[in-house]
Amino acid sequence: MGQRILVLYSGGTIGMGHTPQGLAPVAGLLPGLLVRFQSEVLDFDLIEYPQLIDSSAIALSDWNRLISDIAKHYHAYDGFVIIHGTDTMAYTASVLAFALQNLAKPVVITGSQLPLVHPRSDGWSNLADAFEAACQSDLHEVVLAFDRVLLRGCRARKVDAASFSGFASPNAPTLARFGITIDWQRSVWRKGAGVFAAQQLDEQVKILPLLLMPGAAAASFGSLLQGEHHGALLMSYGNGNAPAERVLLEGVASASRRNLPVLNLTQVMKGAVAVGAYAASQPLAQAGALPGFDMTPEAALAKLTVLASMSLAPEARQARLLCDWAGEMSIPA
């Protein structure tokens, strides 16, 4: 008996067609192109969303629709494939990794750098690999299939807009490599446990993204942290270093007193926040900033958003923030 897969098509380059205005999403185009993947061992249904969007326009309401559709059809299918634009694919993968809790089947996100109607499109191989992954009954997590690799969703980052190798997971191993044979790295796959649950997002959640740069940014961020928000991502230097700017530290302390987490992440692609590695990392920690270790900004935004959408006491929220929840970070021993 073949695998039953549900495909959710939200938009993106992969399904674009030629129009008088140039390449643009064309309703009904993708379902006809995907017929070639139907077989005796693979049967799938496809939901094409009424408004196909460029993923740069993604909003919390779009994430809620994906979460809701997977929850609604969770028990009817063996796996899920989400077809998505590349610009925010890593953000969506991270949100789903935290919102879809205790998964016991695969959720695979894919897309392409060139549309399927292009003669050199990478979309065909990405889709083929996504369907292969979605048929693995022991793959119990949200993953991203792109350019012949399979990555953990909450570890993936878009790293290249000029080649087919669009995504990588700089701080985590790949989950599979697709060649003539498929190298499934099952030893690093997560094991499902517990009862599946889907967490809808509070669409009013506001997380502040703060990218430190030399100059006046530190002081201005301190003022922002005094305002209304549900948490902040502070992108610091190196291993979590920041200037001992009084206004910044007062803002971090103010947010901490109000139980609004300020997560300290590193700007570098590969590496982790290590409080105490340098003296310059101490003031942020003393003001109440929490270490994000080697989490990606995409995963950190998703984790803060999902936690802010849950009914949790501040202590429980902080405990969940600092633990490895979906394979999103490595915590030093």
User: Could you read off the pLDDT of 121-161 as tens digits, one per residue?
Assistant: 999 999 999 999 999 999 999 999 999 999 999 999 999 99
In a domain, 161, yes or no: yes
Tokens (6 digits) for 312: 């949790």
Clarify whether residues 163 and 244 are in a common domain.
Answer: no
**Where residue 37 sits, what CATH number does that domain have?**
3.40.50.1170
pLDDT, mean of residues 293-307: 98
For residue 103, give its domain range: 3-198
Chosen domain end from 198, 223, 240: 198
With contact defined as beta carbons under 8 Å apart, do 60 and 306 qualify? no
Query: Taking residues 5-11, what's their average pLDDT?
Result: 97
| pLDDT tens-digit map of 237-269 | 999 999 999 999 999 999 999 999 999 999 999
At which of 151, 173, 198 does a domain end? 198
Dist CA 126 CA 33 (whole Å): 14
Q: What's the rounded Cα separation, in Å, for the pair 56 and 46?
A: 23
| Whether residue 79 is found in the same domain as residue 148 | yes
Query: Do the beta carbons of residue 142 and residue 169 sit within 8 Å?
Result: no
Tens digits of residue pLDDT in 104-130: 999 999 999 999 999 999 999 999 999
Is the pLDDT at 290 greater than 70? The verdict is: yes
Residue 328 domain-assigned (yes or no): no
How high is the pLDDT of residue 1?
Answer: 58
User: In the annotation, is 86 catalytic?
Assistant: no
Q: Are residues 188 and 277 in the same domain?
A: no
Residues 26 and 131 occupy one common structural domain: yes
Dist CA 8 CA 105 (whole Å) = 16
Does 185 share its domain with 265? no
Residue 14 and residue 107 in one domain: yes
Domain finish residue from 150, 179, 198: 198
Angle at 43 between CA 42 and CA 49, to 5 degrees: 125
pLDDT higher than threshold 90 for residue 192: no
Residues 154 and 77 in one domain: yes
Which has the closest alpha carbon to 307: 295, 325, 292? Answer: 325
- The residue annotated as part of the active site, out of 13, 88, 92, 266, is 13
- The reply to whether 153 falls in a domain is yes
0.85 exceeded by the pTM? yes
Our count of domains for the chain comes to: 2
For residue 299, being part of any structural domain is answered with: yes
> CATH number, domain at 214?
3.40.50.40
